[in-house]
Chain A
Amino acid sequence: MNLFSPRLFESPAHDDAWIPSSCSLCYGTCSILAHRVDGTIVKIEGNPDSAVGKGRLCGKGVSGIMTHYDPNRLRYPMRRTNPKKGLYEDPGWKRISWEEALDEIATVLRKVRADDPRKLVVQRTTTVTASRVPFHAFATAFGTPNFSVSGGGQHCGNGAHLISGIMHASWSIVPDFEYCNYAIFFGASKGHSAGHASCSNMAKAADARVRGMKMVVVDPLCNFAAAKASEWVPVRVGTDAAIALAMCNVLVNELGIYDGPYLQAKTNAPYLVGPDKLYVRDGQSKKPLVWDTRNGAARPYDEVPAADSAIEGEFNVGEVTCRPAFECLRRHLQGFTPAWAEKISGVSAATVRRLAKEFGTEARIGSAIVIDGTALPYRPVAAIAFRGSQGHRNSVYNFFAIDLLNHLVGAADVVGGCLGFNPTCHGHPETGMVRYAPTAGPDGLMVVGNWMGYHYPYPPAEPRLPTNLGLQDLFVIGMTSPFLDSTDREALWDKFDLPYRPEVMINFGANLVMSIANKDAVAASLAKYKFIVSFDLFLTETSNFVDIILPDCDYLQSLDSRSNFPFIFSLPAGPGEWCWPIRQPVVPAEGEQRQFADVLLDIADRIGIRADLNAAYNAWLDLRPPYRLVGDRPYSYQDICDAELKNNFGPEHGLEWFKQHGVIKWPKKPDEVYWRPFVDVRVPIYWEFLKPIGEKIAGIAEPRGLKIPLEYYDPLPAFLPCRAHCCDKQGFDFYGFYYRDVVHTNSFTMENPWLDEAARLDPFSYAIAMNRSEAGKRGFVDGQLVWVENENGRKVKGRLKLTEGIHPEGLGFAAMCGHWTDGQPIAKGKGVFYNDLLELDWEHASPVNINLDLCVKVRVSAAEGTS
């Protein structure tokens, strides 16, 4: 550990410097100090000056040197000479110059733009957070709405982020580790694995455990989070909603534990609902009505003091018999008994009851606490969900049911409760920039103050006949789409008379062949593109479909002015500091590597859209005079970064200042962290808006032959089984699922020899976890080579690791392994490619948020080979 302050230090005799920058081994983007000696990076540590990581760095972060110096890194542009594209076809790479590469790319893009710019698909990996704005800006300037964040975005985006946005105005949720006493993790590992604000959260979670926070982990697998938990609750894969709904029922209907004043003031609990499941509205203003108990009449929600708004009972408004939304919820929950939940989830009724009682009791409804002189509600419980619990066809209800626990007891964005990542920021104290807060939207429901794009979680856009390839303008609750590459994409596009087809792709770092679902489906889709250009660090499995490969700079060679913004994404939640780090080059590019952002500017100039790109950057970065980019002036990416930093933090805090200091920070205030009492917005515990959305979507889709199951559009959550739950084929008696490995990120890091070594030392990383008892019944032994087959005949092979720490019906696969490309010799042949078991079509996607179903019913059989 560096004991000195992190300042640039250069001796006149030789180069010895610690450079503040940002990691990019995962999207956590923790702040780092990279030690460079005589032009070589010798060490990477956390930056103690930054709130992002707080000086800590995980095993992936410190291993970044090995990715950087990998001799298999791409160093010059290449063009395929073999016109045939296929999973195992050698592209016949030929080295070309940058001039040749960009000339050809520009020619292709000019033609596409003149024809129909929507034929361009822009795709990026989620690992490099700072790639968002440059690629968004380019796509915006070019004029295509077709954007993909590959498997990384598809596998967690549509459930977790959507609902975190609607209910917490943020991208994700986490316990308030500073003050939480009781946290339940449903298929989540915040603070115990990778992910948003990972290193900071690991420290906070560890301190919380020392402080005595009880942590219950509901998960099919006992690993990173559960291994440190007070209690592990093994659950049948994909059935989290059943447990959460039963817990909600116990709280409300058995124990009578719920925060009435919170529900009255901060949710749509008092909104009156008619027999048609829609709000009863004021005839003139169309505002939802509530029952004013003081005056005995129905009035618009914003004209009645919260304390006087009924949340239970039944009332007549004119001739309409109606109930408050909470009353609807209360009655709806009655059907979800603990005994019912036991049948669905395998978790005993007694356990469900006990968890509910513990959660409700520890919520300490009605209590308050003073933080820095500010009195705040205190609810030291949190129910957290993330990728595991939402990665299913019943994604929306799984996550919604879990988060309902927080809202029933008022533990939402208050001290000790479930926090969104920084939904409110008062802005930099000197400039006031980067300020945002949730606001009240239609029907008084919360609209996020900041988001990663403009497809806001609420209010959803009006569904229409789609013109986007991903159909998100029809399925407006979804964000990332599986339909750009699904096996039925052409059929869907035909149904909706989509007037164009994708022809060209610009890919940044995404390995789509491995990251989203089975490789055959993706291969068929990619093979149809006329031209694909890809920015990469290494050749990947997807490279076999690429026409021109461009060698990218990695994070130790790159400049970014916003490595970690927006704050809703990966700045630690809870008390502490606002912190804006940058990324800066520690060492120069090698060979002919160029940073993607510079290349995009070059391409824009060649195809004549520089003015559009400048305008797009102005819009995405919110640049104001005098820092706005002007006309078609050929700014460099360095100029743009400098403009953004000065725009946000003043003329004295430009790029040169940040290169010296690394981060700018200022303290958070309690009313920013625990903003819920201070912002006059409500959240929906009853999703009334979902019903008309579903009907409109059905009105468009069903005449065209696509049936919309409207049970997914009911305003109240239920348990709807995945396809896997409905499989009764003989012998298919395990639920396959994958989980994040703390040692790896997506399919990226298996090539890193240090991380590969760590993974090989771990018995689970490259193996398939099976319950020891279940294995014994079937005659399987530890280390045995097996086939795992889905009900459609897709198969993968791997070695078993037997453990008591997995649900008897679960089959757990770590990370996204199983590379076969020669371009990554260390990664090749390691681990199991779980995604090859996943189907990629409408039938396996959520019909409401188009999330992909990530669990699969499988059969396991012995494979020949050395065991």
Chain B
Amino acid sequence: MRVRWDAVVGCSAMDVLSPRADGVVTGPAEGHTQVRVRLFGALAARSTRPEVRLEIDASATLGHLLAMAGECFGDWLLDHVLDECGRKRRHCRIFVGGHPIEDLQTPLCVTADPSEVEIILLIAPEGG
């Protein structure tokens, strides 16, 4: 009996790799919507104001929102949140309506509550 290493056997393990669907719904993608962007921790300490309200197109992605937030707060925000290739830094967590979103291409309209966006930088190094 041989088991090929390259046989990725279809089983429940594959479900583990699928992102959880929590907080992701299909919503209308028309018009504009108001979003409160709130900074926490190091980002809040750096900024003169911890939050801003933005009006964005309902079909906008999280990446679009971040770009607008960068214009409001300053370029320093994007330096902290995005890496040199424009990807979200791993230790930066973004929550839309209380649910974590990793993909900046995610349209805000598909989230359960696109009106609240939280951005926070977590500690990177650890050990032990």
Asked if A136 meets B4 with Cβ closer than 8 Å, knowing A625-B98, A678-B11, the reply is no
Which B residues are CB-close (under 8 A) to A677?
A: 3, 5, 7-9
The answer to whether the Cβ of B120 comes within 8 Å of any Cβ in the partner chain is yes
Asked if A368 meets B5 with Cβ closer than 8 Å, knowing A126-B128, A454-B123, A624-B22, the reply is no
Stretch of A199-207, A350-358, A455-463, A517-525 contacting B (4+ beta carbons < 8 Å):
A455-463
Stretch of A310-318, A429-437, A855-863 contacting B (4+ beta carbons < 8 Å):
A429-437
Name the CB-closest residue of A to B118: A615
Stretch of A14-22, A141-149, A489-497, A586-594 contacting B (4+ beta carbons < 8 Å):
A141-149
The answer to whether the Cβ of A470 comes within 8 Å of any Cβ in the partner chain is yes
Contact between A117 and B123, CB atoms less than 8 A apart: no
Instruction: Give the interface size class of chain B.
Output: 35 or more
B117 to chain A, nearest CB (A): 12
A136's partner among B43, B44, B89, B123 (CB-CB below 8 A) is B123
Name the CB-closest residue of A to B16: A437
How far apart are the CA atoms of A576 and B26 in the complex, in Å?
40
The answer to whether the Cβ of A749 comes within 8 Å of any Cβ in the partner chain is no
Contact between A145 and B128, CB atoms less than 8 A apart: no
B58 to chain A, nearest CB (A): 21
How far apart are the CA atoms of A266 and B3 in the complex, in Å?
13
Asked if A142 meets B41 with Cβ closer than 8 Å, knowing A132-B126, A377-B5, A480-B127, the reply is yes
Asked if A452 meets B41 with Cβ closer than 8 Å, knowing A377-B3, A680-B8, the reply is no
Contact between B5 and A153, CB atoms less than 8 A apart: no
The answer to whether the Cβ of A376 comes within 8 Å of any Cβ in the partner chain is yes
B125's partner among A147, A306, A439 (CB-CB below 8 A) is A147
B114 to chain A, nearest CB (A): 14
Stretch of A79-87, A247-255, A667-675 contacting B (4+ beta carbons < 8 Å):
A667-675
Contact between B98 and A452, CB atoms less than 8 A apart: no
Which B residues are CB-close (under 8 A) to A366?
A: 2
Contact between A139 and B123, CB atoms less than 8 A apart: yes
Annotate B82-105 by CB proximity to A: 1 below 8 A, 0 otherwise: 011000011101010111100000
Asked if A424 meets B98 with Cβ closer than 8 Å, knowing A117-B45, A139-B123, the reply is no
Asked if A480 meets B20 with Cβ closer than 8 Å, knowing A145-B42, A678-B9, the reply is no
The answer to whether the Cβ of B66 comes within 8 Å of any Cβ in the partner chain is no
B5's partner among A261, A427, A618 (CB-CB below 8 A) is A261
The answer to whether the Cβ of A239 comes within 8 Å of any Cβ in the partner chain is no
The answer to whether the Cβ of B54 comes within 8 Å of any Cβ in the partner chain is no
- Interface contact tally, CB-CB below 8 A: 191
How far apart are the CA atoms of A136 and B5 in the complex, in Å?
39
Which B residues are CB-close (under 8 A) to A628?
A: 98
Which A residues are CB-close (under 8 A) to B99?
A: 624-625
Which B residues are CB-close (under 8 A) to A625?
A: 23, 97-99
How far apart are the CA atoms of A126 and B128 in the complex, in Å?
5
Which B residues are CB-close (under 8 A) to A605?
A: none
Contact between B4 and A261, CB atoms less than 8 A apart: yes
The answer to whether the Cβ of B6 comes within 8 Å of any Cβ in the partner chain is yes
The answer to whether the Cβ of B121 comes within 8 Å of any Cβ in the partner chain is yes
Asked if A454 meets B128 with Cβ closer than 8 Å, knowing A139-B123, A147-B123, the reply is no
Contact between A479 and B127, CB atoms less than 8 A apart: yes
Contact between A144 and B125, CB atoms less than 8 A apart: no
Asked if A424 meets B13 with Cβ closer than 8 Å, knowing A113-B45, A456-B90, A620-B122, the reply is yes
How far apart are the CA atoms of A111 and B16 in the complex, in Å?
46
B34 to chain A, nearest CB (A): 18
A669 to chain B, nearest CB (A): 7
A409 to chain B, nearest CB (A): 12
Contact between A462 and B121, CB atoms less than 8 A apart: no
Q: How many chain A residues have a CB neighbour from B under 8 Å?
A: 82
The answer to whether the Cβ of B46 comes within 8 Å of any Cβ in the partner chain is yes
B122's partner among A142, A261, A461, A619 (CB-CB below 8 A) is A619
A126's partner among B11, B97, B122, B127 (CB-CB below 8 A) is B127
How far apart are the CA atoms of A138 and B92 in the complex, in Å?
16
A157's partner among B6, B84, B95, B128 (CB-CB below 8 A) is B128
The answer to whether the Cβ of A212 comes within 8 Å of any Cβ in the partner chain is no
A152's partner among B8, B11, B95, B128 (CB-CB below 8 A) is B128
Which A residues are CB-close (under 8 A) to B13?
A: 424, 426, 437, 671-672, 675, 678-679
How far apart are the CA atoms of A432 and B125 in the complex, in Å?
28
Contact between B6 and A261, CB atoms less than 8 A apart: yes
Name the CB-closest residue of B to A671: B13
Name the CB-closest residue of A to B8: A680
A368 to chain B, nearest CB (A): 5
The answer to whether the Cβ of B48 comes within 8 Å of any Cβ in the partner chain is no
Annotate A830-846 by CB proximity to B: 1 below 8 A, 0 otherwise: 00000000000000000
How far apart are the CA atoms of A677 and B2 in the complex, in Å?
12
Contact between A368 and B1, CB atoms less than 8 A apart: yes
A679's partner among B4, B8, B22 (CB-CB below 8 A) is B8
Contact between A461 and B83, CB atoms less than 8 A apart: yes
The answer to whether the Cβ of A784 comes within 8 Å of any Cβ in the partner chain is no
Asked if A678 meets B8 with Cβ closer than 8 Å, knowing A154-B127, A368-B2, A375-B1, the reply is yes
Asked if A161 meets B16 with Cβ closer than 8 Å, knowing A144-B42, A454-B90, A611-B40, the reply is no
Contact between A679 and B17, CB atoms less than 8 A apart: yes
A454's partner among B91, B98, B100 (CB-CB below 8 A) is B91
Contact between B120 and A619, CB atoms less than 8 A apart: yes
Asked if A454 meets B127 with Cβ closer than 8 Å, knowing A377-B3, A436-B16, A678-B8, the reply is no
Annotate A361-401 by CB proximity to B: 1 below 8 A, 0 otherwise: 00000101010000111000000000000000000000000
The answer to whether the Cβ of A453 comes within 8 Å of any Cβ in the partner chain is yes
How far apart are the CA atoms of A126 and B127 in the complex, in Å?
8
Contact between A619 and B95, CB atoms less than 8 A apart: yes
Contact between A117 and B90, CB atoms less than 8 A apart: no
Contact between B12 and A432, CB atoms less than 8 A apart: no
Sorted from nearest, which 6 A-B pairs have the closest CB atoms? Answer: A153-B127, A157-B127, A453-B126, A126-B128, A480-B127, A454-B91
Q: List 6 A-B contacts (CB under 8 A).
A: A143-B45, A265-B4, A432-B20, A453-B123, A619-B93, A624-B98
Q: B residues near A, CB below 8 A?
A: 1-9, 11-17, 20, 22-23, 38, 40-46, 83-84, 89-91, 93, 95, 97-100, 118, 120-128
- Given A259-B5, A368-B2, A616-B122, 15 more A-B residue pairs with CB atoms under 8 Å apart are A126-B128, A140-B121, A140-B122, A144-B42, A145-B42, A265-B4, A266-B5, A368-B1, A375-B1, A427-B16, A454-B91, A612-B44, A618-B95, A619-B122, A669-B12
